[in-house]
């Protein structure tokens, strides 16, 4: 019961902390007149991926980086298959193929790179550093693109969040996310020990859902406020943070050892989920894709638990 209480408390902290941290970064970015799509794929994605970062770091320091690996890769499936699948049930999402450029194809390439690196069942320090190098190269490219677009950021709206309030929300949100990460690791490892469940499986399913709560909040709010491009950008950017930065950080702290069969299943489902996200010729992601994405997630959970 104590482990379940830890997980419940972590879910609440992750949701509250993620929303506060997201508001903080978005408020600061709006003051700088950065286009909202760029904000979504970089700053917002970083904010919503903070729970995964704290979980993977704490787990790696505790000698269990497999929880972080399962959390990061599993969160990518939760982001697209579960969260966006649920969002599509409200109706199709109108977007543009321009939103599926460099970032989207890199998100497709990262699982293939991860598959190659963990083919021997391990991710060593040097391989983790390679993931971090790709991440920082993408981040620098994204920041330079944002700076070039700063002068023509016509779609940026005014914000009522002052600079001081943004800083306060950021500090409080980050503190809540760090606490949530510690609670998640404690609760997840306790459940894994009690039921003799592999720690990677716990990370890929249970922890992944909890740490993806900020993405869920972002996507739902963006749909309600008519900013669907923000939701799409946040999920794609979050997947890049998870697959590159979070796995990279965990692997540099402690070598990751995980069964190839489990990881391959997660990576394959992640690729299929991204392909289902591609819009049609008119730029519409139809509502029927939502049912396919949810079916994919249910199949992933079943296959992971029975493998």
Which domains are seen in the chain, by residue range?
36-151+197-306 (1.20.1420.30)
Residue scoring higher pLDDT (206 or 97)? 206
Q: What pLDDT score was predicted for residue 220?
A: 75
User: For residue 303, is pLDDT > 70?
Assistant: yes
Q: What pLDDT score was predicted for residue 40?
A: 65
Instruction: Name the token pair of 8.
Output: 């419940």
User: For residue 272, is pLDDT > 90?
Assistant: yes
Q: CA triplet 186, 191, 195: central angle to 5 degrees? A: 155
Residue scoring higher pLDDT (181 or 114)? 114
3-class DSSP state for residue 256? strand
Burial of 306 (0-12, 13-18, 19+ CB in 10 A): exposed
User: For residue 85, is pLDDT > 50?
Assistant: yes
Q: What pLDDT score was predicted for residue 270?
A: 92
User: For residue 271, is pLDDT > 90?
Assistant: yes
Q: Give the position of tokens 């904010």.
A: 47
User: For residue 161, is pLDDT > 50?
Assistant: yes
Q: What pLDDT score was predicted for residue 289?
A: 93
- Over range 182-195, report the average pLDDT: 76
Q: What DSSP line would sit under 107-174, residue for residue?
A: HHHHHHHHHHHTTTSEE-HHHHHHHHHHHHHHHHHHHHHHHHHGGG-TTPPP-S--HHHHHHHHHHHH
Q: What pLDDT score was predicted for residue 150?
A: 61
């Amino acid at each position: 019961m104590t482990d379940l209480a830890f997980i419940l408390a972590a879910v609440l902290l992750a949701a509250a902390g993620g929303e506060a941290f997201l508001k903080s970064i978005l408020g600061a970015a709006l003051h700088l007149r950065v286009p909202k799509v760029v904000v979504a794929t970089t700053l917002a994605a970083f904010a919503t991926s903070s729970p995964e970062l704290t979980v993977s770091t704490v787990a790696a320091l505790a000698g269990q980086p497999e929880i972080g690996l399962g959390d990061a890769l599993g969160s990518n499936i939760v982001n697209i298959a579960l969260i966006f699948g649920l969002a599509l049930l409200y109706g199709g999402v109108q977007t543009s193929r321009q939103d599926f450029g460099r970032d989207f194809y890199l998100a497709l390439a990262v699982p293939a790179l991860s598959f190659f690196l963990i083919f021997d069942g391990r991710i060593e320090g040097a391989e983790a550093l390679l993931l971090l190098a790709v991440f920082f190269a993408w981040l620098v490219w994204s920041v330079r693109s944002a700076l070039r677009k700063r002068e023509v950021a016509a779609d940026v709206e005014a914000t009522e969040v002052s600079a001081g309030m943004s800083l306060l929300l950021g500090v409080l949100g980050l503190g809540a996310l760090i606490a949530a990460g510690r609670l998640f690791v404690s609760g997840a490892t306790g459940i894994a020990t009690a039921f003799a469940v592999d720690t990677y499986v716990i990370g890929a399913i249970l922890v992944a859902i909890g740490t993806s709560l900020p993405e869920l909040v972002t996507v739902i709010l963006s749909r309600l406020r008519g900013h669907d491009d923000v939701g799409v950008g946040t999920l794609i950017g979050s997947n890049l943070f998870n697959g590159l930065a979070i796995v990279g950080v965990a692997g540099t702290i402690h070598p990751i050892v995980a069964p190839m069969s489990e990881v391959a299943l997660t990576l394959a489902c992640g690729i299929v989920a991204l392909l289902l996200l591609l819009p049609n010729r008119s730029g519409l992601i139809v509502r029927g894709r939502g049912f396919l994405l949810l079916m994919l997630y249910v199949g992933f959970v079943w296959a992971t638990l029975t493998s």
